[in-house]
Amino acid sequence: MKIKAAVLNGLHQPYEIEELELSEIRDDEVLVRIVASGMCHSDDVVRQGYTEYQMPIVLGHEGSGIIDKVGKNVVGYEPGDHVVISFAYCGHCDSCLTGLPASCDDWNHLNFHGKRKDDTPYLTKSDGTPVTRFFGQSSFSTFAVVSPSSLTKVDKSVDLRLVGPFGCGFLTGSGTVFNGLRPEPGSTIAIFGTGAVGLAAMMAAKISGCTKVIAVDIHDHRLELAKELGATHTINSKNADVKEAILELTHGKGVNYSVDTTGVNAVVRNSIDVLAVGGSVAPVAAAREMEINTTNDFTMQNRNLVGARMGKAVPQLSIRQMVDFYKAGNFGFDKLAKFYTFDKINEAAEESLSGKVIKPILIMDETYAPEA
Ligand SMILES: [Zn+2]
Ligand SMILES: [Zn+2]
């Protein structure tokens, strides 16, 4: 079928909206009409060439939409279902069976191979050039063929335009706290970086009952928003000594938990140094190599370093949970979002990169309106 997609034809190029051919679904696949898609930094990472992909490619991995067609072996989904699209996983390897589907044995193939296992492409140009699929979805598009393992159903009263980012950025941020760190009520936490991932982590910390939720960033306007969303304290690390400020807020002890969402070595360093005895740090962002002293930084302080890939989340469980928190008024992520029509994708990418907008969301289906 013919679809419209934002194609990246080469590194550092702008997105170009083109008509592409999307392959028919197979028996174990689902066709989703995309209503909206969040833009995430991982999309831009590809555009800037930090990870290598075969171009042309259609990016986008925070899609939400309405199921159009279901393969005959797919159970539990039908046309008309409203869905959020997250990563794909096999469902039967050891990682999947132990609740860590983001570490699925088949993860790379299912999400990043860009074609089917038999090497047939999902997307092609009119001249036959294959176009790489991204993150198991390629949601910068009017339609996507996906695995049912990527799908989470949401009820029709939920505004589909808002929930795409539940599939990646918000999933990672909230899951790092809920599933990775698991702070107990009354504990303290510092979140470094207040982008989409950091703010989701912060909201999760608040929900978990942390009494001090300290947001650290270098942008005052972001820290203001952090306060609105539940940070009890904010620190602008440009004009304050972060370690001193956090010690002061925690009776000289340090925080019980910290999350780094920046990947900047000096900030990761701070996220370790501000921990109390017995504290745990979760580094989320892709970081460069850095030196730590395992004895002094961790062993002697009984501290822990916690890995939580994609927030250790099972998307179907975590996304439903986030929707419920949102409905209950505890997860005000809509304050981070700005809508753009699909043709404004390059503007959206720019405003995201400059830090002006935290979570740009592209609207592919302008006729969509949430059910009352
Ligand atoms: Zn992402
Ligand atoms: Zn698996």
147 plus 180 within the same structural domain = no
Residue 219 lies in a domain: yes
Q: Are residues 220 and 342 in the same domain?
A: no
Mean pLDDT of 12-34: 97
Nearest ligand to the CA of 88 is 2
Distance 64 CA to ligand 2 centre (A): 23
Q: If you measure from the C-alpha of residue 172 to the centroid of ligand 2, how many angstroms do you get, rounded to a whole number?
A: 18
- Measured from the alpha carbon of residue 139, the closest ligand is 1
Q: What pLDDT, on a 0 to 100 scale, did the predictor assign at position 171?
A: 96
The answer to whether residue 198 sits within a structural domain is yes
Ligand 2 mean position, distance from CA 108 (Å): 10
- Residues 140 and 190 reside in one and the same domain: no
Share of the chain above pLDDT 90, in %: 92
Helix, strand, coil shares, percent, the chain, to 5: 35, 25, 40
351 has a pLDDT exceeding 80: yes
CA-CA distance, 328 to 88, in Å (whole number)? 28
Ligand 1 centroid – CA 168 distance (Å)? 5
∠ CA 271-308-54 to the nearest 5 degrees? 105
**Which ligand sits closest to the CA of 136?**
1
Q: What is the per-residue pLDDT across 211-235, written as a single tens digit (0 to 9) for each?
A: 999 999 999 999 999 999 989 999 9
Question: pLDDT, tens digit, for every residue of 120-177?
Answer: 999 999 999 999 999 999 999 999 999 999 999 999 999 999 999 999 999 999 999 9
Q: What is the DSSP letter of 132?
A: E
Domain co-membership, 147 together with 9: yes
Question: What band does 294 get if pLDDT is binned at 50, 70 and 90?
Answer: very high
314 CA from centroid of ligand 2 (Å): 11
What pLDDT, on the 0 to 100 scale, is given for residue 296? 96
Which residue in the block uniquely carries the two structure tokens 């909201």? 203
In a domain, 371, yes or no: no
* CA 118–ligand 1 middle distance (angstroms): 26
- 262-284 pLDDT, tens digit per residue, is 999 999 999 999 999 999 999 99
Query: Residue 261 belongs to a domain with what CATH number?
Result: 3.40.50.720
- Provide the pLDDT for residue 268: 96
Model pLDDT for residues 35-76, shown as the tens digit of each residue: 999 999 889 889 988 888 899 999 999 999 999 999 999 999
Which ligand number lies closest to the CA of residue 91? 2
Does some domain include residue 358?
yes
Q: What is the pLDDT of residue 50?
A: 82
- Indicate the average pLDDT of the chain: 95
Provide the CATH number for the domain around residue 55: 3.90.180.10
In this structure, the answer to whether residues 226 and 262 fall within a common structural domain is yes
Q: Which ligand has an atom closest to residue 62 CA?
A: 1
Q: Distance, CA 309 to ligand 2 centroid (Å)?
A: 14
- The verdict on residue 166 lying in a domain is no
Q: Span 335-355, mean pLDDT?
A: 95
- pLDDT reported for residue 286: 82
Q: How confident is the model at residue 372 (pLDDT cuts 50, 70, 90)?
A: confident
277 and 343 part of one domain: no
Same domain, 145 and 179: no
Which pLDDT does position 320 carry in this prediction? Answer: 95
pLDDT for residue 213: 98
How many Å lie between the centroid of ligand 2 and the Cα of residue 173? 22
- Cα of 132 from ligand 1 centre, angstroms: 17
Q: Which ligand is nearest to the CA of 109?
A: 2
- Rounded to whole angstroms, the Cα distance separating 370 from 290 reads 47
Identify whether residues 284 and 342 lie together within a single domain: no
Residue 317 inside a domain? The answer is no
Do 149 and 6 share a domain, yes or no? yes
Kindly give the distance from the C-alpha atom of residue 22 to the centroid of ligand 1, in angstroms, as a whole number. 23
Pull the structure tokens for residue 92: 């039967």
Q: Which pLDDT band holds residue 79 (cuts at 50, 70, 90)?
A: very high
Structure confidence at residue 49 (pLDDT): 85
Query: Could you tell me if 135 and 16 lie in one domain?
Result: yes
Express each pLDDT in 300-318 by its tens digit: 999 999 999 999 999 999 9
| Count of domains for the chain | 2
Range of the domain at 67: 2-153+332-363
Same domain, 148 and 22: yes
Nearest-angstrom CA–CA distance, 156 and 292 = 48
Residue 234 lies in a domain: yes
How far is the centre of ligand 2, averaged over its atoms, from the C-alpha of 339 (Å)? 34
Determine the residue type at 188. T
Q: For residue 37, list its beta bridge partners.
A: 63, 362
* Whether residue 143 is found in the same domain as residue 180: no
Q: Does a structural domain hold residue 105?
A: yes
